[in-house]
Structures are given as structure tokens and as C-alpha cells.
Structure 1
Amino acid sequence: MRRSDHPAHHRRKPEPTRMTSIPPGRPAWVDLFTSDPAAAAGFYAPLFGWAVAEATGEPPTGRLVFHQQGRPVAGAGPTDDGQPAWTPYLATENVDTACELATATGGRLRSGPVEVSDSRRSAVLTDPAGASFGVWQSLGLSGAEVFDVPGALTWAELTTREPDRAKEFYGAVFGWTADDQPMDAITYTTWQRDGQQVAGMMPMVGEEWGDLPSHWMVYFAVTDTDAVADEAQRLGGSVSVPPTDLPRGRFAVLTDPQGAFFSILGPVPAPA
């Protein structure tokens, strides 16, 4: 997986955020779809300091909720296609309308919509290039309640083989505009809505991507990238891209024991 020249550092440095409501078009939640939610919890809980609880108000499907600082930040549940993956959910005012727009613009509905009383209405889709994402309509739970602190989501990025088509699709469904930033042989895109950065897009250019399909990458904030990468290996995970310094921070791409990959992003260590 090519990440050595990763440009996530182009976005503005975030401030720790507690959310009581999440504007439409912004990442609201992340779910891990995995072959073994309980085993995955045994990896992520010590890695990020997450507390683990069974999801309430839902059918007994083995879904879990991860908490940081006593607040929900992510979830986990069984995968429906055998492929473990982290999936971001984007906030919307109406899930059904978002699904209609997505399918009319070349996307595909994978599951849902489903409703959890006093929580949310949500669905999982794929964009025209096959990258999976969710849509989230608050019915009481706006989504994750904390962002940009260690162990919480800090960035989401579409990595795609069809960037031009993605601009049309996400613009139509979420009202995003594309801020393109030339960088060497590629153009990195920062998605914006209402003048605010909401996510990024990396085009999959070159043979080094191999047969990796288009996908969404999620980034979790950490205080020490190297220490978390080492701990991930001790817990049975692996390092897909080793810790690397960027102007924005120090990042790495990790893979959990079930095969789901994700990124971590922390500060660049001070010179010794």
C-alpha cells in the first residue's frame, strides 16, 4: 500500500472536538466490519485505550461500541462479505434521500436503511468505484461524540481509481466541492462543504497500488505514532507503512489481526 508520500498533512491542524451535532456531509461515525468483533476488540481496546460495550437497542448481532473518554467514538460488527474493513459514515439530514441520490448517481446500496430507536437511521453504500461508506441520520445520537483526540477519528480519506467520477458522485450526494492540490505526479483533493474541510481524496496512480480496490481510509489520532505501531505488532497486527514524518505529523498504516487496515496520525517527535 503506497503511503510514503501521503498528503494528509495539507489539511489544517485540528483542535480536539466534542460534538453535540454534526453538520451534513461531515464524517459522523466509523464502523469496523470484521470476521471476529470480539477478537478485534481485544486488539483495539489496549491499542487505543478504548472501553468496549455491547451495542444497546439493536438486534443481538454481536455489535460492539468503543468508547474514549467515556464517549462513543466507533463501532464494530460482523462483515457481510468476508472482507474486514473500516467504514466511515457521513452525516445526512435524510438517509433515504441520500440513498436515492447515491444510487441515481452510480452508487450501490449494500445494506439498510436500518433504524435504531432514539439513535440513528443509517445505511451502507458503495460509490461508483466500489469504495464503501455509510450515511448517518441522527435520531438522538449525532455520531461519535469526540474527535481529534488520541483514540478518536481525526481524518477520513477516499483512495480511489476514479477521482473524476468521485467528484461528480460526492458532489451530487453530499454537496462537496473539490479543492485540488498538485503534489508531484498526483493531485490531492481536499473535500469541502460550506467552506470547511471535511475529508480528503488520494488518486491511486501507479503500479505500486497493485490490485488494491478503491476504499476509504480512516485515521485515528495518537500521541506517539512509533509506540502505537510497536504495540500493534505486539498485539498481533502488522505495519503496512512504517512511521513516516510529514509536515502535518507522523503517520503509519497498520493492519489488525483480522486484516482491516487503518492509519494513525500523531505529532512529529521533537529532535533529540
Structure 2
Amino acid sequence: MPHGDITHIEIPVTDFATSGSFYSALFGWQIAEAPGFEGYPMWQAPNKISGGALTKRDDDFTQPRSYVEVDSIDDALAAAKANGGTVVAEKRQITETSWWAIVADPDGNELGLYEGMTAAPES
């Protein structure tokens, strides 16, 4: 995905089965756990482009969070801080080829950052 595209949306829920049934019936989303991501059921929209995950709701995560594709999380974190934002979660590795972090804008709205590839590089 190009820089700046929303690449993933996490939805905090209290019950994976109930919420999964709700979203599948409402939007036709396919929801399943992927190997290596147990306890993090991922959804994909019928267009096979949009997607995200259902994640456990807690006191610090009560609203859906969009993740935006960036060329460099390090650069994006520096730019967020330089422009009045804050870092909520520092850069963390997802796979060998992907990372995430969370920033908040000056109004406190949280956005996730995503850098990397979702598939293994071609040989």
C-alpha cells in the first residue's frame, strides 16, 4: 500500500465470538485467526482490500483505531512529536518485515502507524 493509506483497523471488543458474528452478518466480513496471531482474529472485507482485527477491549483501548502506512515509523514518530503530537506506543516489531507504533494528535486522537510488508519478500 502507498504511504498515507489506511492499512488496518482494530476494533476493541469484549467477546470475540459475539462481535465476530455481528460484523460478519452486518458487513460480510470474513473473520479468522491466522497462524502466529492466535487471540487476534483478523477480518477482511468482501473487497479483499480493507481489513483489520478484533482485539480485546481494555481501559486504554475503547474505540476503533486506524493504522496508516508510512515509509518510516521512526521518521513518522519524529514528525508527530515535532508537530505537537505524542507517542502512545513506541515502534514494535510484528514480523521480520513489519512494525507498528501509535501516536496521538494534539487533540488526543490516536492513530496507529504501520511500516513494512505483510507478505514475505519474493526471492
Cα distance in 2 for partners of 1:105, 1:37 equals: 37
Cross-structure match for 1:114: 92
1:132 equivalent to 2:110? Answer yes
User: Which amino acid in structure 1 is aligned with residue 14 of structure 2?
Assistant: S
Q: How many residues align?
A: 118
- Paired-residue identity, %: 25
Cross-structure match for 2:78: 100
Q: Which runs of 5+ in 1 are unaligned?
A: 1-21, 142-272
Matches within 5 A, 1:8-23: 22-23=1-2
Contact map agreement 1:118 1:140 (CA 8 A) in 2: no
Relative to structure 1, is the Cα distance of residues 135 and 83 closer, same or farther in structure 2, using a 3 angstrom cutoff?
closer
Q: State the Cα distance separating 1:42 from its structure 2 match.
A: 2.2
TM-score computed with the length of structure 1 as normaliser: 0.39
Cα distance in 1 for partners of 2:61, 2:102 equals: 15
Q: Which has the higher contact order (CA 8 A, sep 6+)?
A: 2
RMSD of aligned C-alpha atoms? Answer: 2.4
User: Which amino acid in structure 2 is aligned with residue 93 of structure 1?
Assistant: D
User: Which amino acid in structure 2 is aligned with residue 85 of structure 1?
Assistant: Q
Q: State the Cα distance separating 1:38 from its structure 2 match.
A: 3.5
Q: Which runs of 5+ in 2 are unaligned?
A: none
TM-score computed with the length of structure 2 as normaliser: 0.78
Aligned partner (choices 64, 85, 105) of residue 86 of structure 1: 64
Cα distance in 2 for partners of 1:38, 1:113 equals: 30
The runs of at least 4 consecutive aligned structure 1 residues that moved more than 6 Å come to: none
Cross-structure match for 1:28: 7
Bigger radius of gyration, 1 or 2? 1
User: Which amino acid in structure 2 is aligned with residue 137 of structure 1?
Assistant: E
User: Which amino acid in structure 1 is aligned with residue 69 of structure 2?
Assistant: A
Q: State the Cα distance separating 1:57 from its structure 2 match.
A: 2.9
